[in-house]
Structure 1
Amino acid sequence: MNITLAAGGTGGHMTPAQALADELKRRGHGVMLVTDARGAAYPALFEEFPVEQLPAGRMGGGLFGMIRAFFSVLKGRKAARELYRDFTPDVVVGFGGYPAFPALLAARAEGIPTVLHEQNAVLGRVNRLLAGKAKAVATSYKHVARLKDTSKAVHVGNPVRDEVKRLGEMPFPSFDDSAPLNILVTGGSQGATILADVVPEGMALLEPSLRHRLNMVQQCREGDIERVRARYAELDIPAKVTTYIEDMASELAEAHLFIGRAGASTIAELTAAGRPAILVPLPIATDDHQTANARELHEAGGGRSIPQGNFTAQELAAQVEAICSDPEALSNAANRALGLGKPRAAEELADLVLRVGAGDNPLPTDPVARAVPRAKPSGMGVPA
């Protein structure tokens, strides 16, 4: 078959699209990506696949912004219809984001079936607009807010890269009362200044038995990197501080604990790899979806969720000590995170897409399919 993937230009949309593309290619199918300029320029993704850019407006900026966006979407829809006549897809898969909108509207106009994939625990705005006409909505969470027609929902998980998926098959990094404590800190693809402000100060407050064993890897914004690096040097804490982590799988492989935002791809990678986390949801995320994303991991005992307003150096130090002072507690949190993982998400999403492309019934007997049973919480943190 030929399959077109339509994804917005952020890592949260592009990463699962790449994982699906790789799986479909392994099965011998043709894959093309439709995105915007940001998506086409995203580093190290879709290098082996044809990529087409379409104009797509973002709904915002008042009345004139909405008008510009409307005509941009119409232009993108027309371009996509012409594109589909050269590369005729059997199915179009949308991963959300405004750049996916015109490609999915064009599929509807051409009578091409569509599948939507939702990475977050709250259905995104573009997917919300298009879910009614989609053949199926693949979800990353068993329960997804703002999804009106749950009869179309199939719980497949959020695809992650093979190198991350393999971490879940390996033992958790050795940790005891004297081993180094490896902490990985990221703030999403653009970093987060609050992590640069709070994390080094929180590490400074740790009891000496933990602080003297720290190894930090922290991703920062360009404007924060030098002061964060200098602060760790003052504290005599070994730290690798960078603006971009190219090989996230290698850093996750060594990490005992993750501190960062609660983006959908981040949660998927943590649960696939089995790494406990302290999550600080981005408060301005659309529909507060990062708080919803963090809830399942928090309730299962695989991590802690701290609202940004409560994220202080003192609170962070208390949470790190509660998780890491006892090696058994840390290992238990890692196992609970791993229990939520969906390592076969790419394969299950590919199965769903191919059923739709073949004209088969895409929905299993139990449409919102087979989530891993939650472990009982074990006092793992403050309320999300």
Structure 2
Amino acid sequence: MTQVRDFRPRQYVLAAGGTGGHMVPAAALAAELMKRGHRVALVSDARGVRFPGLFEGVQTHVIPAGRFAGGPLGWAKAARLMIEGRAIARDLYRDLRPAAVIGFGGYPAFPALAAAFAAGIPTAVHEQNAVLGRVNRLVAARVDAIATSYAQTERMKSRHRAKAHLIGNPVRESVLAWRARPYPVPEEDGIFRVLVTGGSQGASVLSQVVPDGLALLPVAFRRRLQVTHQARIEDIDAVREKYASLDIAADLATYLPDLPEALGWSHLVIARAGASTIAELTAAGRPAILVPLPSATDDHQTANAREITAAGGARTIPQSAFTPPELAKQMQKLGLDPEALGNAATRARSCGAPHAVTDLADLVESLDAPRARVMVGATITKKAFA
């Protein structure tokens, strides 16, 4: 995208729902914009503003927003909350006077963007998944730009593709730092580090299957394991006891504040296929066994996993086929062949977008820059995926 940088400090508002998939890229953009001298405010729900360590130095605002579910009564309640949230956002914009409002999906983004449309403020959305999300589909016709993370984004109407820009999914600097370091190929008889994570909300199926799957590995391999496992609070005690009964070294937590460090030292990751997980795997270059969440809206996690799997950086197992024997089989294919692991790490890395956050910040800055308007039909160059 050709543009002339405008270095005036400005105010930006980022609007995102309260899950890690929306909040992590928003936090990465906030950090980049502040690094460039801009001011940033976050609009979210009560969950979003509570993510520890993500939005330090960012003023945060909670606005009401409802999910359109639960039949006519639920829809009516959601509509009332959306209208209330839109009014609060408009009042906020009168004080902040933002140069642009950027949505990252999730229901709290909708009233924030609706208020921006009414006030004539430039807008953009970022889509983390390989399927355009519901809120982003609702606002696609009105926003000035759509930033995508995948070359093929499903559920995007053809008439909206002219304002789509292939950016990638921003990740935290602490994750990106691992890209410059070589993959830690495990020694034949050395420790084999496994990271198990279900994303910001955990995944019970991983807690149910992974310990029993690791128990089926050859004894010599099993004794080498060092597992870091993120589990739901209702599962964690039972999972801890299971690992102890199997004599498998394991550290368990309901939340991993040091996830980038755990990811960087991992030889293999077993995970859901959420957008942030895929972005971090490909940024750092770590091989994975992926189990997409079958109930994800529009089955977007299966779509997220396709690129890294086709490249050879991951193996995808549908949840219906994710059993202890299947996991043990895939673990042995990868874990007992250091060369295969190293190749998978390289292929995962090839799918990464290390410049996503700077490219997204460039796009955001261009939204209100008179000398560098967003170019209709422009796309970010391949440097984003170098």
Whole-angstrom CA distance in 2 between matches of 1:372 and 1:51: 29
Q: What is the letter of the counterpart of residue 94 of structure 2?
A: R
User: Contact 2:355/2:385 (CA < 8 Å) preserved in 1?
Assistant: no
* 1:161-180 to 2 correspondences below 5 Å: 161-180=172-191
Q: What is the letter of the counterpart of residue 367 of structure 1?
A: T
Q: Which segment drifts farther, 25-34 or 221-230?
A: 221-230
User: Contact 1:122/1:287 (CA < 8 Å) preserved in 2?
Assistant: yes
Which one of the candidate residues 129, 141, 148 is aligned to 2:150? 141
Matched, 1:314 2:348: no
Q: What is the letter of the counterpart of residue 123 of structure 1?
A: L
Which one of the candidate residues 245, 248, 267 is aligned to 1:237? 248
Unaligned runs of 5+ in 2: 1-9
Structure 1 match to 2:230: 219
User: Contact 2:236/2:254 (CA < 8 Å) preserved in 1?
Assistant: yes
1:76-96 Cα deviation digits (max 9, x unpaired): 111111111100011110000
User: Contact 1:154/1:363 (CA < 8 Å) preserved in 2?
Assistant: no
Structure 2 match to 1:84: 93
Q: What is the letter of the counterpart of residue 215 of structure 1?
A: Q
Matched, 1:67 2:79: no
The offset of 1:117, in angstroms, is 0.1
User: Contact 1:151/1:367 (CA < 8 Å) preserved in 2?
Assistant: no
> What's the secondary structure of 2:183's corresponding residue?
coil
Which one of the candidate residues 204, 208, 213 is aligned to 1:193? 204
The offset of 1:365, in angstroms, is 6.7
Displaced runs of 4 or more, over 4 A: 371-374
Structure 1 match to 2:169: 158
Whole-angstrom CA distance in 2 between matches of 1:48 and 1:250: 23
Q: Which segment drifts farther, 53-62 or 222-231?
A: 222-231
Structure 2 match to 1:32: 41
1:316-366 Cα deviation digits (max 9, x unpaired): 011111111110100000000011111111100000000112143323875
* 1:362-381 to 2 correspondences below 5 Å: 362-363=374-375, 366-367=378-379, 369-370=381-382
> What's the secondary structure of 1:133's corresponding residue?
coil
- TM-score, with structure 1 as normaliser: 0.95
User: Contact 2:356/2:384 (CA < 8 Å) preserved in 1?
Assistant: no
Whole-angstrom CA distance in 2 between matches of 1:2 and 1:62: 39
> What's the secondary structure of 1:112's corresponding residue?
coil
> What's the secondary structure of 2:18's corresponding residue?
coil
Matched, 1:124 2:124: no
Q: What is the letter of the counterpart of residue 231 of structure 1?
A: K
Whole-angstrom CA distance in 2 between matches of 1:223 and 1:57: 26
The offset of 1:372, in angstroms, is 7.7
> What's the secondary structure of 2:248's corresponding residue?
coil
User: Contact 1:339/1:372 (CA < 8 Å) preserved in 2?
Assistant: no
Unaligned runs of 5+ in 1: 375-384
Whole-angstrom CA distance in 2 between matches of 1:45 and 1:121: 24
Structure 2 match to 1:303: 314
User: Contact 2:359/2:380 (CA < 8 Å) preserved in 1?
Assistant: no
Q: What is the letter of the counterpart of residue 287 of structure 2?
A: P
Whole-angstrom CA distance in 1 between matches of 2:182 and 2:375: 35
1:164-201 Cα deviation digits (max 9, x unpaired): 00001111114121121100001122221111111011
Whole-angstrom CA distance in 1 between matches of 2:86 and 2:191: 54
- TM-score, with structure 2 as normaliser: 0.94
Whole-angstrom CA distance in 2 between matches of 1:72 and 1:258: 39
Whole-angstrom CA distance in 1 between matches of 2:316 and 2:37: 41
The offset of 1:9, in angstroms, is 0.9
Identical positions, percent = 55
User: Contact 1:281/1:307 (CA < 8 Å) preserved in 2?
Assistant: yes
Which one of the candidate residues 3, 14, 25 is aligned to 2:12? 3
* 1:342-357 to 2 correspondences below 5 Å: 342-357=353-368
User: Contact 2:100/2:367 (CA < 8 Å) preserved in 1?
Assistant: yes
Which one of the candidate residues 52, 75, 95 is aligned to 1:43? 52
Cα 1:363–1:305, aligned 2, differ >3 Å: closer, same or farther?
Answer: farther
The offset of 1:371, in angstroms, is 8.0
How many pairs align? 374
Whole-angstrom CA distance in 1 between matches of 2:381 and 2:115: 29
> What's the secondary structure of 2:241's corresponding residue?
helix
Cα 1:355–1:108, aligned 2, differ >3 Å: closer, same or farther?
Answer: same
The offset of 1:18, in angstroms, is 0.6
Which one of the candidate residues 279, 291, 313 is aligned to 2:302? 291
